[in-house]
Structure 1
Amino acid sequence: MRPLEIPIPTDEERQILEEVYQSTRDIRLHMRLQMVFLAVEHHFSAAAIASIVRSSEETVRRWLKRWMAEGIEGLKDRPGGGAPAKITSAYEELLLASVRLRPRSLGQPYSLWTLRRLADYMAEQTGIRVTYETVRLILQRGDIVLSRPQHTISSPDPEYKVKKRRSKRHATG
């Protein structure tokens, strides 16, 4: 392959390269800047740089070409990749509004929400199926925590508490 003809950066461009190199915490950007410095300051070939940074010659060439075309911005990772997000702000708003209502008022056959029930309900309403952990994280961002229900036994009998205490004493005594 023929060697890349790397343009000599101006003093201002060198200063910017140096500042970004010294200040970045992005290890990938740091390594790409090293590639540029090795090419510009030491006139190393792509093959020599590849052996130093433990990368392929093709990868080094690609980053040097992007730097020549776009400057430092070309060395940064481009956004993207992965599947598009399932969750929309409308989904989150509906979830937060639903969890604040009693399930029975929304036509559900139970009286308390659980994460799984919320995930199922939201899938029915929106067609978007997410895990109950995703539901928990959305609720957490909305400062809502579902706790386990506390089951209590009560009675309309005015003497219920007295009778309950009396039965506990007899059970332990």
Structure 2
Amino acid sequence: MRYADGGGLSERGRTTREQVRLQAAQWFAQDMAVAEIARRLRVSTNAVYTWRRRWRAEGEAGLASKGPGGSSCRLDERRLARLAEALEHGPAAYGFGEDQRWTLARVSDLIARLFHTRYTLRGVSYLLHRMGFSPQVPAHRAIERDEDAVVTWRRETWPAGKR
């Protein structure tokens, strides 16, 4: 996901893009060439042709922002809170006893059990990130490790350079 609100432009970004399309609409009314509009707005000519087609069919209302893209979450706020609470109880509370780590597959199974809704592993990942969870890599201590042979890391200091 490249944008701040989970896949799409922010509200400010959508407003800015809408203003660009509305500026193009003013130039459409003046019968300005598509290539010139694209050059002035620094967008592709294909985008301008699309905007012009929508402007001719629906007027300026056809160029208005339609809001954030993507599908809406299948779990409402109450269910998301219930899922977060279930995740806090740990995997053992839901029959995953072999270790105490939540995997995407386990969370997907938990969602299916609790809410009768299926999510793909990628969808679970997006959902967990949106809820504020992040992937964690457990620190395992190797039994065979020779503590005396372990290299100690330190921060190197570099001499001050010439200015």
- Provide TM-score, normalisation by structure 1: 0.48
- Provide TM-score, normalisation by structure 2: 0.50
Bigger helix share:
1
Work out which structure has the larger RCO, using CA pairs closer than 8 Å and 6 or more positions apart in sequence.
Answer: 2
Query: Max radius of gyration: which structure?
Result: 1
